[in-house]
Chain A
Amino acid sequence: MAIEGADIVKAAAFLGAGLAMGLGAIGPGVGEGMAAAKTCEAIGKNPKEAGLLTRTMLVGQAVSESTGIYSLVVALLLLFVV
């Protein structure tokens, strides 16, 4: 089979999308897990403030997830736009 330039570019875009999302998912996953673990500890110590702690956890996780969302955006751009 003949390999053309455009074909190589497309293949690289697909591989790039896979790598971007795959590797980009590692950090947020671990980080959000840490947040959840510490929230469990905090609720164990101070169960009365469960509502406040849950909200704080969710906001923190949403922020640390933003890099994962950037990866998703880049991956989708590589798949459908480039």
Chain B
Amino acid sequence: MINDVQTWVSVAAYTGAGLAMGLGAIGAAIGEGYTAAQANFAVSRNTKLSGDVFKSMLVGQAIAESASIFALVIAVLMLFYKMPDATMIKAASLLGAGFCMGFGAIGSGIGSGLPGGQACIGLARQPSIGNRLTTNMLIGSAVCQTPAIFSMVVALMLIFIDFSKAPLFPTWAAVIGAGLSTGLAAIGSGMGGGFAAGASCEGVARQPETAGPVTTTMLVGQAVAQTPSIFGLLISFVLMFKAFPESTTFAASAGLLAAGISTGFGGIGPGVGNGMAAEGAVRWVARSVENAGGLMRIMLVGQAVSQSTAIYAMVVSLCLIFVV
């Protein structure tokens, strides 16, 4: 068996490509399925509008698909791009890129399916406001893609940045940790953003005259729900760009890997929770628009408190990187 470095880089590239595409396909498929299911329901309610609902379904699915298209791009890049620097660190960073893109696409895929489905139902309910509903759906699901775009940026950096001058121990763990941190943290934020966007499409369809405050609340809620994935990105950048001294202990590597895992997993729950808070606020802004200010305030406070565990996870990661 030939164990030269080039072999390992190829092994990592192909495994990473498989992980990126395999994991990345989960979310988009679920999201699109949800959209299609709601579209069927909408058509059964109002068969005359089947053409419009069909169009709306396709637009919604196309956006939900984009997360898995990012994953496809990364996978194809890893399969066919000839790495100029074949080192063991490159092998690790390719694996990290695969994890990052794969996990990162799950949340955004599921999340951006929700507004598509709600837009189809809304269209069957209120055909006259189709344009406004489509605009709202497009804005909402485009913002849901942000965590997937973060993961794609990190994956591209892991593929193209030249780490060959850094010491193998512990940089191999730093690059895998960087991938896990952004990738896992993106799951929660993507799904959470989708909850808010779905509720806003429902709200606009119920009360078209509240579209302005509903969209504003949705955008603010989604922006705050993005915070856990920004923390993940912060930890990834620190792990990628901090120059770690060479170390022969296994503990140093394990610490950096654990830093990525901590912020990554820690971002999932708060992202989903923030999304739920935003969903509640958006839904009730649509029903009682005169309370929009108070609802926005309570949403921000609730989201801020439910983020605190993501912040503790980030603090533990920073301790692992800088202190121990």
Contact = CB atoms under 8 A, between A and B. Distances in A.
Interface of chain A, main secondary structure? helix
Given A18-B259, A29-B306, A32-B273, A37 B279 contact: yes
A25 B251 contact: no
Which of B280, B284, B285 has the most CB atoms of chain A within a 10 A radius of its CB?
A: B280
Query: Main SS of chain B's interface residues?
Result: helix
Given A7-B249, A54-B298, A80 B324 contact: yes
B276 A39 contact: no
A53 B281 CA distance: 14
- Residue among A13, A19, A32 having the largest count of chain B Cβ atoms under 10 Å: A32
Task: Bin chain A's interface residue count.
Answer: 35 or more
Contact of A11 (B251, B294, B323): B251
B128 interface: no
B276 A33 contact: yes
Nearest to B306: A32
Given A27-B269, A33-B302, 7 more contacts: A10-B249, A14-B255, A15-B258, A18-B317, A33-B303, A37-B277, A58-B301
Interface of B: 169, 184, 188, 192, 228, 248-251, 253-255, 257-277, 279-281, 283-285, 287-288, 291, 294-295, 298-299, 301-303, 305-310, 312-313, 315-317, 319-320, 323-324
